């Protein structure tokens, strides 16, 4: 016997879902990103799927597009690709590898800071990477939502179409791409050759010792930026 599909009774009665998936992410702050075909061709379907999700969805709807809101295409200088938001309530804030200020550092984030200290001598005081985003570092997950407690639970929802269109938009001029792990490297495989590509193992404890530690991505990016006459990123 097939397992019945779990549908929120609030939806069946015409009310809003109780699981948190029905809260609509605001689009008016997207700026130039709002012109991507994704928002007319793909987002309505994804939004409908999220409305029928009975599990709580992370991050909260108002933070769902935070990466794009903070870092517009014309000011994007560096791109760091992640996979999906942290699935623990209160942790994800809509930026890849970033957590809310009071959240203890996840293992991958701790390894990133460890390598940053080795590379530049300092690291941010918290895991909130909003200051990076505000300097032109696009911190984009390839899936912008995740069900609470279910990492990868929305990987097949269609978010990859947004990633493809964002990367295509940023392919027009040289930028720096930090591609940590096979997932990010596969997503960026069609980029033009004029970019700086730093490809290493993922900073996860399972792989950081296989090429992430000691790769010096932060100073390499800043060296590349300054050679182009651009200001460096203040990583710490």
* Catalytic (active-site) positions: 84
Beta carbons within 8 Å of 223's beta carbon, 6+ residues apart: none
> 99 and 109 in contact (C-beta within 8 Å)?
yes
Token pair belonging to 217: 């991505």
Quick one: angle between helices 107-120 and 217-227, nearest 10?
A: 50
CA distances from 81 to 85, 97, 121, 185 (A): 11, 9, 24, 9
Instruction: Indicate the helix (H) or strand (E) that contains 10.
Output: helix 9-12
Which residue, chain included where needed, has tokens 């108002």? 62
Classify burial at 193, counting beta carbons within 10 Å of its beta carbon; exposed 0-12, middle 13-18, buried 19 or more: exposed
Token pair belonging to 37: 């075909």
> 225 and 231 in contact (C-beta within 8 Å)?
yes
- Cα–Cα distance measured from residue 171 to residue 20, given in angstroms and rounded to the nearest whole number: 35
């Amino acid at each position: 016997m097939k397992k019945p599909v779990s549908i929120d009774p609030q939806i069946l009665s015409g009310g809003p879902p109780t699981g948190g998936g029905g809260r609509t992410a605001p689009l008016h702050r997207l700026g130039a990103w709002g012109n991507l075909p994704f928002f007319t061709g793909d987002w309505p379907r994804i939004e409908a799927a999220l409305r029928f999700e009975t599990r709580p969805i992370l991050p909260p709807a108002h933070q769902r597009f935070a990466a794009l809101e903070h870092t517009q295409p014309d000011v994007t200088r560096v791109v760091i690709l992640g996979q999906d938001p942290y699935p623990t309530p209160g942790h994800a804030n809509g930026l890849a590898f970033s957590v809310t200020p009071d959240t203890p550092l996840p293992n991958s984030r701790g390894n990133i800071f460890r390598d940053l200290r080795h590379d530049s001598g300092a690291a941010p005081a918290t895991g909130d990477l909003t200051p990076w985003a505000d300097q032109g570092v696009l911190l984009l997950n390839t899936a912008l939502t995740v069900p609470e407690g279910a990492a990868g639970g929305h990987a097949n929802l269609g978010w990859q179409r947004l990633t493809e269109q964002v990367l295509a938009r940023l392919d027009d001029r040289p930028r720096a791409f930090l591609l940590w792990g096979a997932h990010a490297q596969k997503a960026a495989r069609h980029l033009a050759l004029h970019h700086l590509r730093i490809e290493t193992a993922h900073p996860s404890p399972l792989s950081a010792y296989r090429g992430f530690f000691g790769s010096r991505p932060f100073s390499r990016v800043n060296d590349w930026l300054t050679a182009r006459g651009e200001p460096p990123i203040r990583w710490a």
